[in-house]
Amino acid sequence: MTRKILLFLTVGLLAVGVLIYFLYPGIRSTDGKCKLCAEEIHKGMRYTVTLSDGGKIKTCCPTCGLHLQVHDPEKVTSAYATDYATGKTIEAAQAFYLEGSDVHHCDPQRMMRNETGGIYTMDWHRCDPSLVAFGSRETAAVFQARHGGRIMNFDEAKEAVKAH
């Protein structure tokens, strides 16, 4: 009888594990990983860059997308950010960005493991400074009141990324 209960519990836990395995990716973004830093692409932070060859690069956040625009401007024909408040796609050049808020989807202090198995803390991260895009200055200001940071336009955001 004890073996049957143990078997039942084991199968039940396995079933729950499999269910979570298949449901968890649905809770997170289905866009995969950022092409620049390999972080998960977050639905509210996605930034898409269209290249001159017609290709598109999806990044995890405005910071990674702006890195591409700052360092390879001749390759970029257009860029679109995700309005954090609405989830809608907006033209990156028309967006307002909040730098330095308490919103950090990419964890710059996470623990990493090197090739030999040693553990270290990542001290630098491409996703710094944290930038969150909004469709209007007013919406950014409301968010800023709760989460801190500095509101900037597209050109100021590019300069912030360039300086970092």
Specify the higher pLDDT residue, 78 or 122: 78
Q: Contact, 62 vs 157, CB < 8 A?
A: yes
The pLDDT assigned to 14 comes to 65
Q: Is the bond into 129 cis (omega within 30 degrees of 0)?
A: yes
User: Two tokens at 85?
Assistant: 């408040």
Sign of the four-CA dihedral 40, 125, 95, 162: negative
Closest by CA to 122, choosing from 112, 114, 131, 113, is 112
The two three-digit tokens of residue 77, written as one number: 């024909």
The pTM assigned to this predicted structure is 0.71
Answer for the pair 152, 87: CB distance below 8 angstroms, yes or no. no
Name the residue with higher pLDDT: 13 or 143.
143
Beta strands at 111-113 and 47-51: parallel, antiparallel or unpaired: unpaired
Kindly list the domain boundaries of the chain, sorted by start residue. Answer: 28-163
Tell me the average pLDDT across 46-74. Answer: 93
pLDDT tens, position by position, 7-47: 666 766 665 555 555 554 444 445 688 888 888 888 889 99
Query: Distance between CA 74 and CA 28 in Å, rounded?
Result: 32
Please give the mean pLDDT across all residues of the chain. Answer: 82
Q: Are strands 111-113 and 56-59 parallel, antiparallel or unpaired?
A: unpaired
Report the residue count for the chain.
164
